[in-house]
């Protein structure tokens, strides 16, 4: 499901009074709030947990010439679904 399809489904769930633009605005507001909270190092918990995961620096192999490359430390957002999602 892409974002456009998700917005259409969200609009259907919210009812006939909601336009697709309003549904998109609501979705963007939720996603922005999650991103902002995770950036502040807060855990966001509903139907699972969103958090920042730190990836350590590491040395990897270059696929073309077999040489060694250093991949610097980075951060990524991680989502761990709750058991409620697995039951549905």
pLDDT for 88 equals: 60
The whole-number pLDDT of residue 47 equals 84
17-69 pLDDT, tens digit each = 999 999 999 999 999 998 888 888 778 888 888 888 899 999 999 999 999 99
**pLDDT tens by residue, 6-19:** 999 999 998 889 99
Whole-structure pTM value: 0.67
Which pLDDT value is given to residue 45? 86
- Interacting residues of 82 by C-beta distance below 8 A, sequence separation 6+: 47, 48, 49
Q: Looking at residue 69, what is its pLDDT? A: 94
């Amino acid at each position: 499901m892409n974002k456009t399809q998700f917005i259409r489904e969200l609009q259907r769930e919210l009812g006939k009074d909601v336009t697709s633009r309003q549904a998109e605005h609501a979705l963007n507001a939720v996603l922005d709030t999650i991103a902002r909270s995770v950036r502040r190092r807060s855990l966001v918990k509903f139907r699972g947990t969103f958090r920042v995961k730190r990836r350590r620096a590491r040395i990897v192999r270059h696929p073309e010439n077999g040489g060694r490359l250093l991949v610097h430390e980075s951060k990524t957002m991680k989502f761990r679904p709750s058991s409620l999602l697995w039951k549905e």
